[in-house]
Amino acid sequence: MIERLAIIGVGLIGGSLARALRAANAVGEVVGCGRSLDNLEKAHELGVIDRFTHDPGEAVAGADMIFLAVPLGAMRTVMAAIRQRLDTAAVITDGGSVKGSVVADALAVFGAMPPRLVPGHPIAGTECSGVEASFAELYAQRRVILTPLPETDPDALNRVTRMWETCGAEVTTMAVAHHDEVLAATSHLPHMLAFSLVDALAQMRENDEIFRYAAGGFRDFTRIASSDPVMWRDICIANREALSAMLARFGVEMTGLAESIRRGDGVHLLEIFERAKSARDRYVDSAP
C-alpha cells in the first residue's frame, strides 16, 4: 500500500505506526529521522526502520507517505525542513496531540494549507517514550481522529484513513477546533491533574512518607504523570486557550467540592460521587 514511508520522530507514536504497517505487510521501505543517533540505531536494530538520516529533507525525498511524529514544538521546524523536498504526490500526516497548532504551523511554512497534508491524532499512547516503547498493537481498536480542512485532497484523506485502518484503528473526522476542545477535556486536563497532584505532594516536607504510603489508587491516578515533560509542555502551549478554559471550569468544580466537604454536606457529596460513578461505569462498559 505504501511504497516508502518517512517517519520524522521515531518514538512511541512514529515507531508504533511503522511496526503496525510492517506487521500488516502494508509498507515497502521505512525511512526514519530524528536527532539522536542512539534512538535511530535502536530503531534500525529493532527492524522498525530500514535506514535513517538526521535530515528531514533527505528522509522525505521519494517518500509517498510522510508521518510527522515529533513533539508539537518541533513541527514547524520539521515542516520547513521538508518543504522543498516533497514529491508532488506525497501525502503528509501527523500524530500531534493538538491540531490547531499543526494547521497554524503548516500555514506559516507553506503559505496555505497543502491539500495533501491531512492533520491527524491517534487516541492511543502510553506514558513511555522512544522507539523501545513502541509496539505494533498500539493502534488496534483505538480511535484516530483526522481533522481535514475544506482544501484537503479527498484522495490524501482516503490514503491516510486506509493507513490507520490497516493498523486496526477506527478513523473518525472532526473539525480542528472541536478536536482541540474535546481533547482538552478528555486528555489534557487529566494530565494536568496528575502532574500537579504529584508535584504538589512531592513539594510537601513529608513527601517521603506520603509516597511510601501511597497505594494502588494513587498509582492508577498518577500513571500519566510519568509522561514526557517536553511533549506535555508543548501540548499545553499549543492548546493553551481550550486547556486554560477547561482548567478554569474545573477550578470552579474543585472549589465547590471543597466547600461541600468543609460544610460536611453529605447529600451534595453523594450526589457528585453517584453521578460520577455512573458516568464512569457507562464509559468503561462502552470502551473497546
Q: Does 39 bind ligand NAP (CB under 6 A)?
A: yes
Judged by CB under 6 A, the residue of 231, 236, 242, 246 near ligand NAP is: 231
Quote the longest CA-to-CA distance of the chain. 67
* Cα–Cα distance for residue pair 165/258, rounded to 1 Å: 45
Q: Does 17 bind ligand NAP (CB under 6 A)?
A: no
Task: Annotate each residue in 201-230 with x if it binds ligand NAP (CB under 6 A) or - if it does not, as one string.
Answer: ---------------------------x--
What is the distance between the alpha carbons of residues 150 and 45, in angstroms, rounded to a whole number?
A: 41
* Of residues 40, 70, 49, 44, the one with CA closest to residue 5: 49
Interaction of residue 13 with ligand NAP, rule CB under 6 A: yes
Taking CB under 6 A as the criterion, the residue among 21, 63, 66, 70 binding ligand NAP is 70
Among the listed ranges 73-81, 146-154, 170-178, 196-204, the one in contact with ligand NAP (CB under 6 A) is 73-81
Q: Answer yes or no whether residue 93 interacts with ligand NAP by CB under 6 A.
A: no
Q: Is 122 in the site for ligand NAP (CB under 6 A)?
A: yes
> Distance (Å, rounded) from C-alpha 99 to C-alpha 183?
10
* Beta carbon nearer to ligand NAP, 9 or 119: 9
Tell me: does residue 106 bind ligand NAP (CB under 6 A): no
Write out the residues near ligand NAP by the rule CB under 6 A: 8-14, 33-36, 39, 69-72, 74, 77-78, 95-97, 121-122, 125, 129-130, 228, 231, 235
